[in-house]
Chains A and B, each alone.
Chain A
């Protein structure tokens, strides 16, 4: 049996030998190369762009500048493909050179002269909401948009999601204990190893070929088709292996530039590869947040009211920012049952690089604020912070902030996660242990939850074909972004077919013309959507195998079973047919043939999901909740305010564990990423909105050898809709890390920390303000 086993990922050998190919590894002699010129200003009018010298430079085929249309964007069409008329963030593409080689393109780029007239910069979401704030989008009202987004004209608000549950007056009346706190952090980045890369070509017959390091090849196809009025079927997108996505490769940005670049040179293939600097700031980033959390509870710690204001820093364009701020509203409280909730979650324009999805999709961000406040409340109540959480843990029968009733399938077990975390962290020894006159050992925790508010009709399809030896090819539009999901799909198929997983061949790359669609490889939905499609396709194949076998074995298909790549008569195992003898039809000894190639198909669409009500948030926007409890143990130096993370803990209820080591890897990798975000990764802006650290010299991610010990444990509450009861797992390890680290450091230092990243200078400054100097 394959499920639960730590099957080696199918592309492992390609990767560890360095032979695996990514988008930039594909070359052709006809290929031209694009180079972007990006804005040195965060907010400025473009007065002039002089491209005359660049056009004359050797090897230059085209120089592109911005156009007023089409405007693009996920929910609101607010973004020109190349900046037009004005720039709205530092790093925004302003012109593009297409030349024979990357070097010639870069040389010509140095010759483009742009003059700007600086405009007042909006540097935080709070500033963006001031009555006299400059408008980043003056024409917000006229932009095209989807139905369920609510921009507020003549403001910098791109969207507002409201949660109105219960009666706040009643909640506050029942809450003798209240606490309120504000938290904030700047945008940061995904910093995947593979920088984004795309090639585009327009064939003489009008077919458009895109190759992209993307999590959403099918979305590229749809958007190019829609923005440029091209027949769907004429856009073909190819995605090879992707070297890290983390949400950063969900948006469609460079593809559009490469397409218009190819169009400008008669359809020749054009490659656009981000430099590291461009990948950090010109392409979309990880969202920032300003959050105000107010909680009320009874004297014994039963939560009664939560009032939440989330101001997401979406940067210059709304892109995924609106979707992220909506997801934050859906999960606005953390995994607790609270009867009375008021939340406004805003997607706010600023003059920062624009935001897109980031692993966890708003949950690590809002939970940093919420779970820090929970710790402050526990302190006020003089109550164990895990007790406070266990007491309020959301359970089957409770309702979520969008008033959706949970059952034992749609939510995992928060109490079990807390219980295991207590054991693993040796909680009873205490949270703050004085090791010496300088060193404190401290433990901080956070509970987490996440649902995935993807499109209500998002679906996935799978095709299965056979090889003459009876082995199966598994073809899915899911992108292998490094999570090993395609291997898990093979395991699901092997389990269902009761066959050897080595007899299943997975097509790693995606081609939108030949792979059935998988909506987007996002939101920890791969295993659910594609996994269910695999099960359906397996049923289809099993039915076809039995049908032909029944004719040959002269019995009813009902009398047949399959196992070990054979169809056999139940309880008569000696009478069987090998897949290899029937998967391409069956040939009798006299030459007669019956049947034909067996081709399996399966698809899955999530069921019963709804949009949320604009006035109250009421609805069922996501299918299930994965929950967990996480912690960190640190050693803190009370003199220097420096610290070391000794151990990081996760207990995740991910339903059935399908591949144990792959699941461990996902959780640990996400924890590492979360600790990087929590402790160090953040863009530093000057007062003009210029990113001061757009390079890996100064934007430091966790390095090999810096990692704490990871302790990961699972609870397995089955999710009935999930394949074999699995829940999502790709993002969840990240979500609680910022809050857990913030809580540990607040306990260790004795001051409440309200910002990220949690660098020693922040602790020093907070201490200084509190008058707690040495």
Chain B
């Protein structure tokens, strides 16, 4: 039950959506874009999100595209996790998102919504960061396409009135060896202690994390350490643990020390999966 009043609109085009936003903004309604609505409803009932107007992006056809165009996989921001998983065009992404929330929630949660989420795990962004994906953004000045790295730093950095329309990933990335692991406090449901996603491109490991800090990230220094193949796996992991570039979370899911213990094991699994270090 959301106790505050808010306006609702469901535009059928990008232009109309931007227009909606401007109109609501002029009325000082503090509008927000949304697609799945899982955070609007669950945080709204606790007054943790208070929006005077919500703009439902599910009516925009561009936000539902899921196909290959010009050697790129184009994924609309309003596509649900269930649908993405079912299509399975991006196996790493399928794997990562299949561990988010539960079955019921995944039929509502969307790619764009998760990347823009208030709940800070935003695990869907990990594969996009690893594959240097592009993002199509709509705003008052029309649409633009930029690198995910330009728009995502801890969280999505959008200008007033902008929203994510699509994600574009080079087809060449989709078949690379990958690994995605989610480690929880216990069992198969819940937020991560650590979620690690990794790919192997031209014998170089790329790796991104969620749950370690209160934002997801990919870190060049960590990747450099992991790719120092002259060192043993154990030495590399030890180096990484000494160079974790964030304040490690210490909360109800697990202590900071324990998260590092879990990270150590998970990194080892990444090296085994992508380099076969066990056989070296």
State the CA gap A501–B241 with chains docked (Å): 67
Q: Is there contact, CB below 8 Å, between A640 and B255?
A: no
State the CA gap A705–B188 with chains docked (Å): 9
Q: Is there contact, CB below 8 Å, between B3 and A700?
A: no
Give A104 Cβ to nearest chain B Cβ, in Å: 8
A761-B188 contact in complex given A639-B265, A703-B102, C-beta closer than 8 Å: no
A640-B265 contact in complex given A698-B190, A698-B191, A706-B187, C-beta closer than 8 Å: yes
Interface residues of A in 6-37 (CB under 8 A from B): none
Q: Is there contact, CB below 8 Å, between B258 and A680?
A: no
B26 within 8 A of A: no
A693 within 8 A of B: yes
Q: Is there contact, CB below 8 Å, between B185 and A761?
A: yes
Interface residues of A in 639-659 (CB under 8 A from B): 639-640, 642
B244 within 8 A of A: no
A684-B252 contact in complex given A106-B1, A106-B3, C-beta closer than 8 Å: yes
Contacts of B190 in A (CB 8 A): 698, 700
Give B272 Cβ to nearest chain A Cβ, in Å: 12
Q: Is there contact, CB below 8 Å, between A764 and B258?
A: yes
A679-B252 contact in complex given A640-B265, A703-B102, A765-B258, C-beta closer than 8 Å: no
Mask: chain B, 45-78; 1 = CB below 8 Å from A; 0 = not: 1110000000000000000000000000000000
Q: Is there contact, CB below 8 Å, between A692 and B252?
A: yes
Contacts of A106 in B (CB 8 A): 1, 3
Mask: chain A, 699-716; 1 = CB below 8 Å from B; 0 = not: 010110110000000000
Q: Is there contact, CB below 8 Å, between A757 and B258?
A: no
Q: Is there contact, CB below 8 Å, between A640 and B188?
A: no
Among candidates B46, B47, B186, residue contacting A759 with C-beta atoms closer than 8 Å: B186
Give A272 Cβ to nearest chain B Cβ, in Å: 14
State the CA gap A679–B102 with chains docked (Å): 19
A118 within 8 A of B: no
Among candidates A693, A697, A764, residue contacting B261 with C-beta atoms closer than 8 Å: A764
Q: Is there contact, CB below 8 Å, between B1 and A680?
A: no
**Best-buried of A679, A703, A706 by chain B (most CB within 10 Å):** A703
B261, closest chain A residue (CB): A764
Among candidates A275, A697, A760, residue contacting B186 with C-beta atoms closer than 8 Å: A760
Q: Is there contact, CB below 8 Å, between A703 and B262?
A: no
B265, closest chain A residue (CB): A640
Contacts of B185 in A (CB 8 A): 680, 700, 759-761
Give B242 Cβ to nearest chain A Cβ, in Å: 17
A691, closest chain B residue (CB): B252
Q: Is there contact, CB below 8 Å, between B4 and A107?
A: yes
**Which interface class (under 10, 10 to 19, 20 to 34, 35 or more) fits B?**
20 to 34
Contacts of B254 in A (CB 8 A): 761
A703-B188 contact in complex given A640-B262, A698-B252, A764-B261, C-beta closer than 8 Å: yes
**Best-buried of B186, B190, B251 by chain A (most CB within 10 Å):** B186
Mask: chain A, 675-693; 1 = CB below 8 Å from B; 0 = not: 0000110001000000011
Among candidates B45, B187, B255, residue contacting A761 with C-beta atoms closer than 8 Å: B255
Interface residues of B in 233-280 (CB under 8 A from A): 251-255, 258, 261-262, 265
Contacts of B45 in A (CB 8 A): 275
B189 within 8 A of A: yes
Give A366 Cβ to nearest chain B Cβ, in Å: 24
Contacts of B1 in A (CB 8 A): 102-103, 106, 275
Mask: chain B, 164-200; 1 = CB below 8 Å from A; 0 = not: 0000000000000000000101111111000000000
Contacts of B188 in A (CB 8 A): 703, 705-706
Contacts of B255 in A (CB 8 A): 761
Q: Is there contact, CB below 8 Å, between B252 and A680?
A: no
Q: Is there contact, CB below 8 Å, between B186 and A757?
A: yes
A53 within 8 A of B: no
A110 within 8 A of B: yes
Mask: chain A, 97-130; 1 = CB below 8 Å from B; 0 = not: 0000011001100100000000000000000000
Contacts of A702 in B (CB 8 A): 187
Interface residues of B in 188-244 (CB under 8 A from A): 188-191
Interface residues of A in 726-765 (CB under 8 A from B): 757, 759-761, 764-765
A680-B187 contact in complex given A103-B3, A107-B3, A698-B252, C-beta closer than 8 Å: yes
Mask: chain A, 206-250; 1 = CB below 8 Å from B; 0 = not: 000000000000000000000000000000000000000000000
State the CA gap A243–B78 with chains docked (Å): 35
Contacts of B102 in A (CB 8 A): 703
Give B193 Cβ to nearest chain A Cβ, in Å: 8
Interface residues of B in 101-129 (CB under 8 A from A): 102
Give A37 Cβ to nearest chain B Cβ, in Å: 13
Contacts of A107 in B (CB 8 A): 3-4
State the CA gap A761–B189 with chains docked (Å): 16
Contacts of B2 in A (CB 8 A): 103
Contacts of B187 in A (CB 8 A): 679-680, 700, 702-703, 706
B259, closest chain A residue (CB): A761
Give B136 Cβ to nearest chain A Cβ, in Å: 31
Contacts of A639 in B (CB 8 A): 265
Give B123 Cβ to nearest chain A Cβ, in Å: 15
Contacts of A705 in B (CB 8 A): 188
State the CA gap A680–B45 with chains docked (Å): 26
State the CA gap A277–B43 with chains docked (Å): 13
A703-B189 contact in complex given A684-B252, A693-B252, C-beta closer than 8 Å: yes
State the CA gap A764–B254 with chains docked (Å): 11
A109, closest chain B residue (CB): B3
State the CA gap A706–B189 with chains docked (Å): 9
Q: Is there contact, CB below 8 Å, between B186 and A698?
A: no
Given contacts A698-B253, A765-B258, 8 further A-B contacts (CB under 8 A): A103-B2, A640-B183, A642-B183, A680-B187, A684-B252, A698-B252, A703-B187, A761-B254
6 smallest A-B Cβ distances: which pairs?
A106-B3, A692-B252, A759-B186, A761-B258, A107-B3, A684-B252
